[in-house]
Amino acid sequence: HSTIFNGTLNFHFRTKFSFLIHQCFWWTSDSI
C-alpha cells in the first residue's frame, strides 16, 4: 500500500509543480 500511496503522492506533486511552472511562464510572457 505504501508504494501505491507514494506513487500517487509523487504524481500529484509533479502535476501541481508542472502547473505552477506553466503559470509562471504564462505570467512572465504576459507581463513582457
Enter the C-alpha cell of residue 15. Answer: 502535476
What's the pLDDT at 6?
83
Enter the C-alpha cell of residue 8. Answer: 500517487
pLDDT tens sequence across 1-32: 678 888 888 888 889 988 988 888 887 777 65
Domains in the chain, number:
1
What's the pLDDT at 9?
85
What's the pLDDT at 31?
63
What's the pLDDT at 27?
77
What's the pLDDT at 1?
64
pTM of the predicted structure, to 2 decimals: 0.43
CB-based burial label for 15 (10 Å; 0-12, 13-18, 19+): exposed
Instruction: State which amino acid sits at residue 11.
Output: F
What's the pLDDT at 32?
55
Range of the domain at 24: 1-32
Q: What is the DSSP string of 16-28?
A: HHHHHHHHHHHHH
Which one-letter DSSP state was computed for residue 16? Answer: H
